[in-house]
Amino acid sequence: MNPNPFTQFASWFTEARASEPTLAEAVCLATATKSGRPSVRMVLLKQVGEAGFVFYTNLESRKADELTENPQAALLFHWKSLGRQVRIEGQVERVSEADAKAYFDSRPKASRLSAWASPQSKVVPNRTFLVDRVAKLEKQYSGEDVPLPAFWGGYRVIPGQFEFWINRDDRLHDRFVYTKEGDGWDMTMLGP
């Protein structure tokens, strides 16, 4: 294992992109309310580096509400093809509007229109409601760039802890935990 968890993650992520049949960047995001009520869902990792792990969402969604109340999260990558998983826990911060806009502008137009059309995590009457909203937006932005909605942005999970898990057929799995210590990382091994 590399002594730097970001380097270790990058190595595994590269392998996962080559071996996972779909979406190696799919990650399970766990959040909780201020009172501790948890919720979990899948999101897509869009950027990773020493600054943290970035995903984007509707800022009026349940996950955004929970991150406002309790700016801590856990991520779980599971790469079945490799028999590996990585857990990450840490503080969460919003990415800058400039970063959000740069990513939003890189998305396909249909994805940008869907971001505008969907009142994420809110009750909608039916699918037709959403399809009609997209159709209206297609007309509104016909031949134009779709702007960044004020209610859309990104979050960065800043790791305080990583756990790398390796499957073993005998169930004696390997678990390596990296904990942030000052400017570096302390690595320990856990029993499976």
What is the CB neighbour count within 10 angstroms for residue 66?
A: 22
Distance CA 42, CA 52 (A): 17
Pair 25, 10: CB distance under 8 Å: no
Which residue in 17, 133, 156, 171 is the catalytic one?
171
The per-residue DSSP string of 103-153 comes to: HHHHS-HHHHHHHHH--TTS--S-HHHHHHHHHHHHHHTTTSPPPPPTTEE
Establish whether 41 is a catalytic residue.
Answer: no
Catalytically active residues are 171
